[in-house]
């Protein structure tokens, strides 16, 4: 209950701040970032609030608790984190290298091939994370 109320107050604060920001600022990226944060908070609040409205299913307890279920869950968590964090790193690398490559290509068009290779190296980080994730899932 406290979590839902805190999320609601956070959403209201961001929404009101966003409305004020829309009127005062001329920067387009600030407007879109405030809008996206408020939408994410709204969706989180709706999803958490739906637990009250929807009936919950109740299952009988299992006879024997499997001790490997915790390890299995941690393995899936590790695989997901490997892909997610590697993809975030790859996105940052491609963003930085891509913007520098566009600037360099605009001045000297002959270096297009070299710039694409540098950008491809940044994309390789995500592939490495995917390979590690497949290796983790292979062990489960």
Mean pLDDT computed over every residue of the chain: 76
pLDDT for res 127: 92
| 122 close to 93: Cβ distance less than 8 angstroms | yes
78: confidence class by pLDDT, cuts 50, 70, 90: confident
Whether the per-residue pLDDT at 115 is higher than 70: the answer is yes
Residue of 22 and 64 predicted with greater confidence: 22
Residue of 139 and 47 predicted with greater confidence: 139
Q: HSE on the CB side for 65, CA within 13 Å? A: 4
- Mean pLDDT computed over 57-84: 72
């Amino acid at each position: 209950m406290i979590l839902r109320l805190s999320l609601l107050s956070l959403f209201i604060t961001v929404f009101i701040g966003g409305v004020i920001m829309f009127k005062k600022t001329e920067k387009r990226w600030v407007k879109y970032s405030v809008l996206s944060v408020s939408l994410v908070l709204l969706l989180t609040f709706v999803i958490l609030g739906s637990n009250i409205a929807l009936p919950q299913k109740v299952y009988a307890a299992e006879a024997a608790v499997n001790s490997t279920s915790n390890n299995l869950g941690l393995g899936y968590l590790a695989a997901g984190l490997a892909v997610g964090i590697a993809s975030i790193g790859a996105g940052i690398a491609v963003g930085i290298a891509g913007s520098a490559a566009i600037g360099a290509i605009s001045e000297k068009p002959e270096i297009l091939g070299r710039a694409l290779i540098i950008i491809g190296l940044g994309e390789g980080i995500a592939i490495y994370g995917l390979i590690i994730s497949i290796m983790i899932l292979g062990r489960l």
